[in-house]
Structure 1
Amino acid sequence: MIKYPFLKERATIGVTAPSSGVSNELHGILIEAGNRMKSRGFDVLFGDTVWTQNKVRSTSAKIRADEFNKMMQDEKIQLIFPPWGGELLIEVLEYIDFKNIKQKWILGYSDTSLLLLTITLKTGIATAHGPNFVDIRGEYTDETTAMWKSVLSTKKGESIKQYSSKKFQKEWQFDNPSPCVFHLTEQTYWKTISNNEVKIQGRLLGGCIDIIRHIIGTPYGDVLNFRKKYIQDEPIIWFLENCELSTTDLRRSLIQMKLAGWFRHCSGIMFGRSPANSPVNGYTVEEVYKEFSEELQIPIIYNIDCGHVPPQMTFINGAYAEIETRNGQATVLQKFI
């Protein structure tokens, strides 16, 4: 059975950097995010790791893991909210104290999604794939991103519905700060391989495919044991997003996941909008999706609100979801059962 944390009002948020920290010249956005959360009634506890960045890491893997473990044991903290992702979170996995992990939310995406998926697979505790801490520093937050708080405040046994965004951000404009953080200018349109309405149900699992593929075949990526121990015969819906992979590398990664049994009893796959998906010799990402849909005989939805092209929904690893698409729009109902 999946275990669901619960975010109370005026909760304390622990900000730690299990992957990349924040370099000196960007400390301002971290402080801004902290002040914004305090103005919304939260207490914020910054760890030491968030203030340092040496090449691609906040600090050593052991120190990163120790700070994370300490925050997980701290009874005051109800939500762990990394500033952002990075590159080498995988280094900390062997130092995480999975046996003593408390039931509290962890929220983020990108490299953080590896930590999220691993914790859910190994412990059955739900984790939250959604915005990073620095994403919520704006004067206001768009409707899609803002749902993170409502989702994390849903009680066990209850459900919550999210709606696809109206618009998304085509490109980052760091030299043109927005009071919303994101510049939402392009019309959102969720697509399906069949070009028809799609309805799928199942337990959500997912993350950044660039990262999570690296735990296949390790003790941290045992999807089959997770199924047996926590969800039995229930189907899985995978939500995946591609940060940097070409179409052929994406195809290889999906095949590897299939060969490892990750797509057994899968009712559908959802792919986020991507800044990557570069065609190789004319081989497009739409062709990757179409081939995979035909091979697995399952529906595939793509260009969803997930990943490095914001905004994004908050998807809960382990939650039971009912997803419907129609005319480019979608609803995601998550049940905490």
Structure 2
Amino acid sequence: MSPQGFDAFLRGLRAAADPSRLRLLAICAQGEWTVSELVDILGQSQPRISRHLRILADAGLLDRFREGSWVFYRRAQSGEGARIARTICRLLPAGEPQLVRDRERLEAVRAARRAEAERYFDSRAAGWDSERDLGVDGARVEALLVERFARERPRALLDIGTGTGRLLEVLASHVGTATGIDISHDMLKIARARLDRLELRNCEVRHADMYRLPFADGSFDAVTIHQVLHFADDPEAVLREAVRVLEPGGRLVVVDLLRHDREEMRRERRHRRLGFEPEEMSAWFAALGLDEEEPIRFDGEQLSVAVWWARRDRLAEVGSERLARGRRAA
């Protein structure tokens, strides 16, 4: 270890040497959280939580990033601080009563958030196709996907967050079989009716949670996530689960907004993230053993969308080790 690395290691240990900060580090390993959410989970005052977060972030154990009026915290993703944070989290006793209670409160906050999202999607199901494009010409994005899938013709496609099944309709003739999953029962009712009306017998939809996909490892050779990640409270966890069900050499396609400052999207459309920076997506892909291609950008009048392409590492053992490390670290 270099002298700089040793100093960073000591800073990290000092920063974590507090019961509340250890609890925060464990929670922030489970996704991205705002200060108000962390206050609810730990049951401490906002000034106290903010002080602990600042110490952890200054030591490089947490990432802090602002989007509009919201500030998110998560366990550090890169650098010496990230390695130290992962090591500390692995050493925490999973059965410690306080950590168990924190996880229970974390799941309660997460469940409430997701239930609210499900109610929102149920209420918007009928007009979802027109809303989903978000000011960018969806036909251009669909044409790009059709061109690529017609060339590659995957055996089995999984569409995560399929909504009303529009992407299944678009890609049905270019894949062997296609499965769409969604958390909204009302969305799925529309999707099933659509698939039946169009007699797309190679397509099906299922009710499922994108964080816990009901499929075995390597079940699909293509996975799409179309305008979904900005709703996720833990985008990396969604990607990790997508990669788990993707076979080595399989294709992952993510379509989502590029970073923007339209704060009203949170109030009016329940967006949690205001889009993504290409560098952020690249870091996630690299951590999950994905070989990324150059993303393709589509600009609308006010918002821009990117299509990210990647393949899972063909060395299945390497990919499995990376995913296992990600699950253990979480």
**TM-score band (shorter)?**
under 0.3
In our comparison, the structure showing a higher alpha carbon Rg is 2
Which structure carries more helix by proportion?
Answer: 2
